[in-house]
A = this chain, B = another copy of it.
Protein backbone atom coordinates (compact mmCIF):
# COMPACT_ATOMS: atom_id res chain seq x y z
CA UNK A 1 0.00 0.00 0.00
CA UNK A 2 1.51 3.31 -1.12
CA UNK A 3 0.97 5.86 1.66
CA UNK A 4 1.74 9.55 1.25
CA UNK A 5 1.53 12.35 3.84
CA UNK A 6 0.86 15.95 2.80
CA UNK A 7 1.42 18.66 5.39
CA UNK A 8 -0.04 22.04 4.64
CA UNK A 9 0.39 25.56 5.96
CA UNK A 10 2.69 28.54 5.55
CA UNK A 11 3.90 28.20 9.14
CA UNK A 12 5.21 24.71 8.46
CA UNK A 13 6.55 25.50 4.99
CA UNK A 14 8.45 28.59 6.11
CA UNK A 15 9.87 26.83 9.16
CA UNK A 16 8.10 29.05 11.70
CA UNK A 17 7.09 25.83 13.37
CA UNK A 18 8.97 22.56 13.21
CA UNK A 19 6.84 19.89 11.60
CA UNK A 20 6.47 17.44 14.46
CA UNK A 21 3.07 16.31 13.15
CA UNK A 22 4.81 14.67 10.21
CA UNK A 23 7.16 12.61 12.36
CA UNK A 24 4.30 11.74 14.69
CA UNK A 25 2.16 10.45 11.79
CA UNK A 26 4.86 8.38 10.10
CA UNK A 27 6.12 6.94 13.36
CA UNK A 28 2.68 5.99 14.59
CA UNK A 29 1.82 4.33 11.28
CA UNK A 30 5.16 2.51 11.34
CA UNK A 31 4.22 1.11 14.76
CA UNK A 32 1.23 -0.52 13.07
CA UNK A 33 3.21 -1.87 10.16
CA UNK A 34 2.07 0.87 7.79
CA UNK A 35 5.07 2.41 6.01
CA UNK A 36 4.84 5.90 4.59
CA UNK A 37 6.45 6.19 1.14
CA UNK A 38 6.93 9.96 0.99
CA UNK A 39 6.01 13.27 2.56
CA UNK A 40 5.15 16.56 0.90
CA UNK A 41 4.93 20.02 2.48
CA UNK A 42 3.12 22.89 0.79
CA UNK A 43 1.95 26.31 1.96
CA UNK A 44 -1.52 27.85 2.01
CA UNK A 45 -1.46 28.24 -1.76
CA UNK A 46 -4.34 27.10 -3.97
CA UNK A 47 -2.22 26.15 -6.95
CA UNK A 48 0.41 24.20 -5.01
CA UNK A 49 -2.23 22.42 -2.93
CA UNK A 50 -4.18 21.37 -6.01
CA UNK A 51 -1.06 20.07 -7.75
CA UNK A 52 0.02 18.19 -4.64
CA UNK A 53 -3.42 16.57 -4.25
CA UNK A 54 -3.58 15.59 -7.94
CA UNK A 55 -0.08 14.17 -7.93
CA UNK A 56 -0.75 12.15 -4.78
CA UNK A 57 -4.07 10.94 -6.22
CA UNK A 58 -2.13 9.61 -9.23
CA UNK A 59 0.56 7.74 -7.36
CA UNK A 60 -0.62 6.79 -3.85
CA UNK A 61 -3.28 4.47 -2.40
CA UNK A 62 -3.84 6.38 0.84
CA UNK A 63 -3.01 10.04 1.45
CA UNK A 64 -3.11 11.72 4.85
CA UNK A 65 -3.42 15.50 4.62
CA UNK A 66 -2.65 17.49 7.75
CA UNK A 67 -3.79 21.04 8.46
CA UNK A 68 -5.89 23.63 6.67
CA UNK A 69 -9.22 22.70 8.30
CA UNK A 70 -9.51 25.84 10.42
CA UNK A 71 -12.11 28.61 10.19
CA UNK A 72 -9.94 31.31 8.60
CA UNK A 73 -9.58 32.30 4.95
CA UNK A 74 -6.13 30.75 4.59
CA UNK A 75 -7.47 27.31 5.59
CA UNK A 76 -8.02 25.84 2.14
CA UNK A 77 -8.07 22.07 2.54
CA UNK A 78 -11.82 21.43 2.07
CA UNK A 79 -12.06 23.80 -0.89
CA UNK A 80 -9.11 22.31 -2.76
CA UNK A 81 -10.12 18.75 -1.84
CA UNK A 82 -13.49 19.35 -3.49
CA UNK A 83 -11.82 20.88 -6.54
CA UNK A 84 -9.38 17.97 -6.89
CA UNK A 85 -12.22 15.45 -6.44
CA UNK A 86 -14.35 17.31 -8.97
CA UNK A 87 -17.27 17.86 -6.60
CA UNK A 88 -18.94 20.77 -4.83
CA UNK A 89 -18.67 21.69 -1.17
CA UNK A 90 -21.81 21.13 0.85
CA UNK A 91 -22.82 21.94 4.38
CA UNK A 92 -22.68 19.00 6.77
CA UNK A 93 -25.61 19.71 9.10
CA UNK A 94 -24.47 17.11 11.63
CA UNK A 95 -21.11 18.78 12.08
CA UNK A 96 -22.61 22.26 12.26
CA UNK A 97 -24.84 21.00 15.05
CA UNK A 98 -21.87 19.39 16.81
CA UNK A 99 -19.91 22.65 16.63
CA UNK A 100 -22.76 24.68 18.10
CA UNK A 101 -22.94 22.19 20.96
CA UNK A 102 -19.16 22.35 21.40
CA UNK A 103 -19.28 26.12 21.85
CA UNK A 104 -22.36 26.19 24.02
CA UNK A 105 -20.79 23.60 26.38
CA UNK A 106 -18.02 26.17 26.85
CA UNK A 107 -20.48 28.97 27.50
CA UNK A 108 -19.82 30.63 24.17
CA UNK A 109 -21.72 31.32 20.97
CA UNK A 110 -20.22 29.89 17.81
CA UNK A 111 -18.60 32.65 15.73
CA UNK A 112 -20.11 32.72 12.23
CA UNK A 113 -16.83 31.99 10.43
CA UNK A 114 -16.63 28.60 12.14
CA UNK A 115 -19.50 27.37 9.97
CA UNK A 116 -16.88 27.10 7.19
CA UNK A 117 -15.53 24.10 9.08
CA UNK A 118 -18.74 22.17 8.36
CA UNK A 119 -18.39 22.54 4.58
CA UNK A 120 -17.21 19.18 3.22
CA UNK A 121 -16.74 17.92 -0.34
CA UNK A 122 -19.96 16.28 -1.53
CA UNK A 123 -19.93 12.55 -0.83
CA UNK A 124 -17.12 12.80 1.71
CA UNK A 125 -17.13 10.52 4.74
CA UNK A 126 -17.07 12.49 7.98
CA UNK A 127 -14.25 11.45 10.36
CA UNK A 128 -14.98 12.26 13.98
CA UNK A 129 -13.05 14.82 16.03
CA UNK A 130 -14.65 14.81 19.48
CA UNK A 131 -12.17 17.29 20.95
CA UNK A 132 -12.15 20.14 18.43
CA UNK A 133 -14.09 22.03 15.79
CA UNK A 134 -12.12 20.82 12.75
CA UNK A 135 -14.07 18.04 11.08
CA UNK A 136 -11.96 15.25 9.58
CA UNK A 137 -13.12 13.63 6.38
CA UNK A 138 -12.28 11.00 3.79
CA UNK A 139 -12.69 11.53 0.04
CA UNK A 140 -11.45 9.85 -3.15
CA UNK A 141 -9.13 11.79 -5.44
CA UNK A 142 -7.71 9.94 -8.43
CA UNK A 143 -6.96 6.39 -7.36
CA UNK A 144 -6.32 7.29 -3.72
CA UNK A 145 -8.39 7.68 -0.59
CA UNK A 146 -7.52 10.98 1.09
CA UNK A 147 -7.99 11.54 4.82
CA UNK A 148 -7.98 15.15 5.99
CA UNK A 149 -6.81 15.76 9.57
CA UNK A 150 -6.56 18.78 11.90
CA UNK A 151 -3.27 20.58 12.52
CA UNK A 152 -3.78 20.78 16.31
CA UNK A 153 -1.56 17.94 17.59
CA UNK A 154 -3.88 16.42 20.19
CA UNK A 155 -6.80 16.42 17.74
CA UNK A 156 -4.61 14.84 15.08
CA UNK A 157 -3.34 12.19 17.51
CA UNK A 158 -6.81 11.16 18.55
CA UNK A 159 -8.14 11.05 15.00
CA UNK A 160 -5.21 9.07 13.66
CA UNK A 161 -5.23 6.51 16.46
CA UNK A 162 -8.99 6.08 16.91
CA UNK A 163 -10.30 6.64 13.41
CA UNK A 164 -7.74 6.43 10.65
CA UNK A 165 -5.39 3.62 11.62
CA UNK A 166 -8.28 1.11 11.94
CA UNK A 167 -9.56 2.19 8.49
CA UNK A 168 -6.08 1.91 6.97
CA UNK A 169 -5.41 -1.49 8.52
CA UNK A 170 -8.70 -2.69 7.08
CA UNK A 171 -7.88 -1.31 3.65
CA UNK A 172 -4.38 -2.79 3.73
CA UNK A 173 -5.83 -6.21 4.44
CA UNK A 174 -4.16 -6.30 7.86
CA UNK A 175 -7.01 -7.84 9.86
CA UNK A 176 -4.98 -8.58 12.94
CA UNK A 177 -4.55 -6.89 16.26
CA UNK A 178 -1.26 -5.05 16.68
CA UNK A 179 0.28 -4.56 20.12
CA UNK A 180 3.13 -2.20 20.84
CA UNK A 181 5.35 -2.70 23.90
CA UNK A 182 7.99 -0.11 24.81
CA UNK A 183 11.04 -0.24 27.10
CA UNK A 184 13.03 2.82 28.16
CA UNK A 185 16.70 2.47 29.04
CA UNK A 186 19.62 4.67 29.90
CA UNK A 187 23.24 3.89 29.28
CA UNK A 188 23.17 1.56 26.28
CA UNK A 189 23.54 2.80 22.71
CA UNK A 190 21.18 1.70 19.95
CA UNK A 191 23.64 -0.59 18.17
CA UNK A 192 24.65 -2.17 21.47
CA UNK A 193 21.03 -2.95 22.36
CA UNK A 194 20.44 -4.24 18.84
CA UNK A 195 23.37 -6.61 19.39
CA UNK A 196 22.22 -7.64 22.88
CA UNK A 197 18.82 -8.50 21.44
CA UNK A 198 20.09 -10.58 18.53
CA UNK A 199 17.87 -13.58 17.90
CA UNK A 200 14.97 -12.02 19.82
CA UNK A 201 12.80 -11.48 16.74
CA UNK A 202 13.28 -15.14 15.79
CA UNK A 203 11.60 -16.20 19.06
CA UNK A 204 8.33 -15.68 17.19
CA UNK A 205 8.85 -17.89 14.15
CA UNK A 206 5.80 -16.70 12.20
CA UNK A 207 7.48 -13.35 11.45
CA UNK A 208 4.85 -11.32 13.30
CA UNK A 209 7.30 -9.66 15.71
CA UNK A 210 9.13 -6.45 14.85
CA UNK A 211 11.90 -4.76 16.82
CA UNK A 212 12.51 -1.02 16.57
CA UNK A 213 14.37 1.77 18.34
CA UNK A 214 14.02 5.44 19.02
CA UNK A 215 17.09 7.16 20.43
CA UNK A 216 16.57 10.44 22.24
CA UNK A 217 19.77 11.00 24.19
CA UNK A 218 20.34 10.17 26.94
CA UNK A 219 17.49 7.65 26.78
CA UNK A 220 16.80 4.91 24.28
CA UNK A 221 13.35 3.51 23.56
CA UNK A 222 13.17 -0.11 22.42
CA UNK A 223 9.89 -1.07 20.76
CA UNK A 224 8.35 -4.46 20.17
CA UNK A 225 5.41 -4.68 17.77
CA UNK A 226 3.47 -7.88 17.39
CA UNK A 227 0.58 -8.86 15.15
CA UNK A 228 -1.91 -11.53 16.02
CA UNK A 229 -5.47 -12.62 15.32
CA UNK A 230 -6.62 -11.49 18.75
CA UNK A 231 -5.43 -9.49 21.72
CA UNK A 232 -5.06 -12.66 23.78
CA UNK A 233 -2.91 -14.27 21.13
CA UNK A 234 -0.79 -11.11 20.84
CA UNK A 235 -0.17 -11.03 24.58
CA UNK A 236 0.61 -14.75 24.66
CA UNK A 237 3.15 -14.41 21.86
CA UNK A 238 4.68 -11.31 23.40
CA UNK A 239 5.03 -12.47 27.02
CA UNK A 240 8.10 -14.74 26.62
CA UNK A 241 9.77 -12.13 24.37
CA UNK A 242 9.23 -9.41 26.96
CA UNK A 243 10.73 -11.62 29.65
CA UNK A 244 13.74 -12.40 27.48
CA UNK A 245 14.23 -8.73 26.66
CA UNK A 246 14.02 -7.78 30.33
CA UNK A 247 16.61 -10.38 31.22
CA UNK A 248 18.98 -9.24 28.47
CA UNK A 249 18.79 -5.49 29.12
CA UNK A 250 18.44 -6.11 32.84
CA UNK A 251 19.14 -3.23 35.16
CA UNK A 252 19.35 -0.78 32.28
CA UNK A 253 15.57 -0.78 31.82
CA UNK A 254 14.33 2.20 33.78
CA UNK A 255 10.68 2.30 32.74
CA UNK A 256 8.16 0.68 30.40
CA UNK A 257 5.45 2.04 28.11
CA UNK A 258 4.20 5.44 29.32
CA UNK A 259 6.26 5.43 32.51
CA UNK A 260 9.10 7.95 32.89
CA UNK A 261 12.27 7.84 34.98
CA UNK A 262 11.06 10.68 37.19
CA UNK A 263 7.65 9.05 37.54
CA UNK A 264 9.29 5.79 38.64
CA UNK A 265 11.37 7.67 41.22
CA UNK A 266 8.26 9.43 42.50
CA UNK A 267 6.48 6.13 42.98
CA UNK A 268 9.44 4.46 44.66
CA UNK A 269 9.79 7.33 47.12
CA UNK A 270 6.07 7.75 47.85
CA UNK A 271 5.61 4.01 48.31
CA UNK A 272 8.19 3.99 51.13
CA UNK A 273 7.14 7.39 52.43
CA UNK A 274 10.73 8.35 51.74
CA UNK A 275 12.03 11.81 50.96
CA UNK A 276 14.91 13.33 49.05
CA UNK A 277 17.29 16.29 49.15
CA UNK A 278 19.31 17.08 46.04
CA UNK A 279 22.51 19.08 45.68
CA UNK A 280 23.99 19.84 42.26
CA UNK A 281 26.44 22.23 40.63
CA UNK A 282 26.94 22.26 36.84
CA UNK A 283 23.47 20.81 36.23
CA UNK A 284 22.19 23.92 37.98
CA UNK A 285 18.80 22.74 39.19
CA UNK A 286 17.92 20.44 36.32
CA UNK A 287 17.98 17.32 38.48
CA UNK A 288 15.56 18.79 41.01
CA UNK A 289 13.76 20.34 38.03
CA UNK A 290 12.81 16.89 36.73
CA UNK A 291 11.15 15.99 40.02
CA UNK A 292 9.67 19.26 41.28
CA UNK A 293 6.89 19.56 38.66
CA UNK A 294 5.46 16.10 39.49
CA UNK A 295 2.21 15.82 41.45
CA UNK A 296 2.78 15.77 45.24
CA UNK A 297 6.45 16.74 44.72
CA UNK A 298 6.36 18.57 48.04
CA UNK A 299 5.87 15.24 49.79
CA UNK A 300 9.04 13.56 48.57
CA UNK A 301 11.35 16.36 47.35
CA UNK A 302 12.27 18.26 50.48
CA UNK A 303 15.00 20.44 49.11
CA UNK A 304 17.11 21.21 46.10
CA UNK A 305 20.38 23.10 46.32
CA UNK A 306 22.31 24.62 43.46
CA UNK A 307 25.90 25.42 44.41
CA UNK A 308 27.88 26.20 41.27
CA UNK A 309 31.20 27.25 42.80
CA UNK A 310 33.45 25.72 45.51
CA UNK A 311 32.87 28.89 47.49
CA UNK A 312 29.09 28.53 47.36
CA UNK A 313 29.30 24.89 48.40
CA UNK A 314 31.39 25.91 51.40
CA UNK A 315 28.99 28.70 52.38
CA UNK A 316 25.87 26.60 52.05
CA UNK A 317 27.21 23.68 54.04
CA UNK A 318 29.00 25.70 56.67
CA UNK A 319 28.14 24.91 60.27
CA UNK A 320 28.32 27.87 62.62
CA UNK A 321 30.23 29.74 59.94
CA UNK A 322 32.89 27.04 59.82
CA UNK A 323 33.92 25.21 56.70
CA UNK A 324 32.80 21.66 57.31
CA UNK A 325 33.86 20.27 53.98
CA UNK A 326 37.56 19.72 54.45
CA UNK A 327 40.12 20.66 51.83
CA UNK A 328 37.69 21.15 48.97
CA UNK A 329 39.34 18.96 46.46
CA UNK A 330 36.83 17.92 43.84
CA UNK A 331 36.18 14.23 44.07
CA UNK A 332 34.34 11.39 45.67
CA UNK A 333 34.92 12.69 49.19
CA UNK A 334 33.29 16.02 48.42
CA UNK A 335 30.33 14.37 46.69
CA UNK A 336 29.76 12.06 49.64
CA UNK A 337 30.00 14.88 52.15
CA UNK A 338 27.53 17.02 50.21
CA UNK A 339 25.06 14.16 49.87
CA UNK A 340 25.27 13.54 53.60
CA UNK A 341 25.08 17.19 54.67
CA UNK A 342 22.23 17.77 52.29
CA UNK A 343 20.33 14.78 53.66
CA UNK A 344 20.91 15.85 57.25
CA UNK A 345 20.09 19.49 56.60
CA UNK A 346 16.76 18.62 55.04
CA UNK A 347 15.95 15.74 57.36
CA UNK A 348 15.43 13.61 54.27
CA UNK A 349 15.60 9.84 53.81
CA UNK A 350 18.06 10.23 50.94
CA UNK A 351 20.61 12.85 49.95
CA UNK A 352 21.60 12.91 46.28
CA UNK A 353 24.67 14.88 45.20
CA UNK A 354 25.68 15.28 41.56
CA UNK A 355 28.88 17.19 40.89
CA UNK A 356 30.42 17.79 37.50
CA UNK A 357 33.69 19.47 36.74
CA UNK A 358 34.34 20.42 33.14
CA UNK A 359 37.77 20.46 31.55
CA UNK A 360 39.11 21.21 28.10
CA UNK A 361 38.47 18.59 25.44
CA UNK A 362 41.19 16.92 23.41
CA UNK A 363 40.75 19.54 20.68
CA UNK A 364 39.69 17.04 18.03
CA UNK A 365 36.22 18.49 17.79
CA UNK A 366 35.59 22.20 18.37
CA UNK A 367 33.48 22.89 21.46
CA UNK A 368 33.90 19.41 22.90
CA UNK A 369 34.89 19.15 26.53
CA UNK A 370 35.76 16.49 29.04
CA UNK A 371 34.15 16.09 32.41
CA UNK A 372 34.66 14.54 35.78
CA UNK A 373 31.38 13.49 37.39
CA UNK A 374 30.64 12.33 40.91
CA UNK A 375 27.22 11.10 41.99
CA UNK A 376 26.73 10.21 45.66
CA UNK A 377 23.67 8.94 47.50
CA UNK A 378 23.49 9.13 51.28
CA UNK A 379 20.98 7.31 53.43
CA UNK A 380 20.76 6.04 57.00
CA UNK A 381 22.54 2.89 55.81
CA UNK A 382 25.55 4.78 54.52
CA UNK A 383 26.82 6.38 51.34
CA UNK A 384 27.34 4.98 47.87
CA UNK A 385 28.99 6.78 44.98
CA UNK A 386 29.44 6.57 41.24
CA UNK A 387 32.22 8.20 39.27
CA UNK A 388 31.97 8.90 35.57
CA UNK A 389 33.36 10.89 32.65
CA UNK A 390 31.47 12.17 29.63
CA UNK A 391 32.94 13.96 26.63
CA UNK A 392 30.94 16.24 24.35
CA UNK A 393 29.58 19.76 24.27
CA UNK A 394 28.23 21.41 27.42
CA UNK A 395 24.61 20.43 26.72
CA UNK A 396 25.53 16.81 26.08
CA UNK A 397 27.46 16.58 29.34
CA UNK A 398 24.71 18.33 31.29
CA UNK A 399 21.96 16.07 29.94
CA UNK A 400 24.10 13.00 30.63
CA UNK A 401 24.89 14.07 34.19
CA UNK A 402 21.23 14.71 35.01
CA UNK A 403 20.24 11.29 33.66
CA UNK A 404 23.11 9.48 35.34
CA UNK A 405 22.23 10.99 38.73
CA UNK A 406 18.52 10.18 38.44
CA UNK A 407 19.24 6.68 37.17
CA UNK A 408 21.74 6.00 39.98
CA UNK A 409 19.01 6.96 42.43
CA UNK A 410 16.54 4.65 40.65
CA UNK A 411 19.02 1.78 40.82
CA UNK A 412 19.77 2.46 44.47
CA UNK A 413 16.08 2.56 45.41
CA UNK A 414 15.49 -0.68 43.51
CA UNK A 415 18.45 -2.40 45.18
CA UNK A 416 20.44 -2.59 41.92
CA UNK A 417 24.17 -1.87 41.51
CA UNK A 418 24.92 1.73 40.51
CA UNK A 419 28.36 0.95 39.09
CA UNK A 420 27.43 -0.68 35.77
CA UNK A 421 29.32 1.08 33.01
CA UNK A 422 27.33 2.85 30.30
CA UNK A 423 28.20 3.13 26.61
CA UNK A 424 28.51 6.90 26.80
CA UNK A 425 31.30 6.99 29.36
CA UNK A 426 35.01 7.37 28.94
CA UNK A 427 37.32 5.39 31.21
CA UNK A 428 37.47 7.00 34.65
CA UNK A 429 40.58 9.06 35.44
CA UNK A 430 43.28 7.23 37.39
For A309, give its contact among B17, B302, B309, B395 (CB under 8 Å): B302
Chain B residues with Cβ below 8 Å from A395 are 293
Q: Do A23 and B18 have beta carbons less than 8 Å apart?
A: yes
CB closest residue in chain B, given A275: B312
Whether A165 sits at the interface, judged by CB under 8 Å, is no
Q: Do B40 and A14 have beta carbons less than 8 Å apart?
A: no
Interface residues of A in 376-415 (CB under 8 A from B): 394-395, 398
For A285, give its contact among B24, B25, B287 (CB under 8 Å): B287
Chain B residues with Cβ below 8 Å from A347 are 315
Whether A417 sits at the interface, judged by CB under 8 Å, is no
Contacts A36-B14, A293-B394 known; A22 to B24 CB distance under 8 Å? no
Interface residues of A in 32-62 (CB under 8 A from B): 35-43, 45, 48, 52, 55
Q: Which among A19, A286, A292, A311 has the greatest number of chain B C-beta atoms within 10 A? A: A292
Contacts A285-B289, A298-B308 known; A15 to B41 CB distance under 8 Å? no
Interface residues of A in 283-305 (CB under 8 A from B): 283-293, 297-299, 301-305
Chain B residues with Cβ below 8 Å from A42 are 37-39
Could you say which interface size class chain A belongs to? 35 or more
Whether A106 sits at the interface, judged by CB under 8 Å, is yes
Whether A135 sits at the interface, judged by CB under 8 Å, is no
Interface residues of A in 189-218 (CB under 8 A from B): 213-215
Whether A281 sits at the interface, judged by CB under 8 Å, is yes
User: Which residues of A line the B interface, CB within 8 A?
Assistant: 12-20, 22-28, 30, 35-43, 45, 48, 52, 55, 106-107, 213-215, 278, 280-293, 297-299, 301-312, 315-316, 346-347, 364, 394-395, 398
* Pairs of residues from A and B, 4 with the lowest C-beta to C-beta distance, nearest first: A284-B292, A285-B285, A304-B306, A298-B309
